[in-house]
Amino acid sequence: MQVVALSVSLIRPKDNLVPILLRTITKHNVKLEDRDIIAISSKALAIAQGQIIRLNQISCSRDAIKLAKEYILKPQLVELILREADKILGGSKKALLTIKNGILTVNAGIDTKNAPKGYAALWPRNPHHSAQLILCEVEKETQKNIGIIIVDSVVAPLRMGTRGLALAIAGFKPVQDCRNRPDLYQKPLQITRHSLADDLASTAHLLMGETNEKIPFVLIKDAPAEFTTEKYLPNELQIPHDQCAFAQAYMQKT
């Protein structure tokens, strides 16, 4: 598998990402080919969509002020989290643990990092639909059959640091079902599914970085993925609460 970092200048609100992406691929002297996968930073997509909010224009509720004091966060940021999160589960200093679009994430995906000063960036609008639109536009312009991953960064329980998350994908199957396949000792696997999309998102995240790298796109070649023309269903990468060990353990404690 080959992975190519594609650096660009700053992405700005109302930028059209697809022309920027295609120009950037040409600039880096690489060819887009069938079965390539393009990873796109969720922050770049969100900013291009105008999903950034000026914090000093946010009016704060009493709940936001209370939570901000408890978790040492800006009240305006907490107010945005309250508006965006489907559920708030608790938190620690500087972070609220939330569920957003069925995903366990910090601060409902809202971030001030790599957003303009005084602004916070939300998650992209309709990330699954956006991934499909980008796929269709790139395929129309290039006549290549490709895949798209929208990459965000997340933290895992009891693990230090961020890793990649496939917030949305298009053009390939995100999960490989390994149940009933034999292991090294010919025992059939019982529950294992392999999240190819998240593994590839982490691969891209490694190159995208978390600071000032300016790498919103990563081109992945020869990935071990099964490409498809079927539209990706958001729940293919999610596990029901009653089947999730983390969710079950948390609900038993609460």
pLDDT tens-digit readout, 133-184: 999 999 999 999 999 999 999 998 889 999 999 999 999 999 999 999 999 9
pLDDT tens-digit readout, 2-34: 999 999 989 999 999 999 999 999 999 999 999
Give me the pLDDT at residue 183, please: 94
Q: Which of 45-65 are b and which e, b meaning 16 or more Cβ less than 10 Å from the residue's Cβ?
A: bbbbbebbbebeebebeeebe
CATH class for the region spanning 52-122: alpha beta
As separate numbers, helices (DSSP H) first and strands (DSSP E) second, the chain gives 7, 12
Helix axes 62-71, 75-84, angle to 10 degrees: 110
- 2-51+124-253 matches 52-122 in fold: no
As a whole number of angstroms, the distance between CA 215 and CA 29 comes to 16
What rounded mean pLDDT belongs to the chain?
93
pLDDT tens-digit readout, 209-227: 999 999 999 999 999 999 9
At residue 251, does pLDDT exceed 70? no
Residue 243 to residues 193, 197, 247, Cα–Cα distance (Å):
13, 20, 8
Query: Could you tell me the pTM of the whole model?
Result: 0.93
Q: Does domain 2-51+124-253 have CATH number 3.30.1330.100?
A: yes
| Domains of the chain, residue spans | 2-51+124-253, 52-122
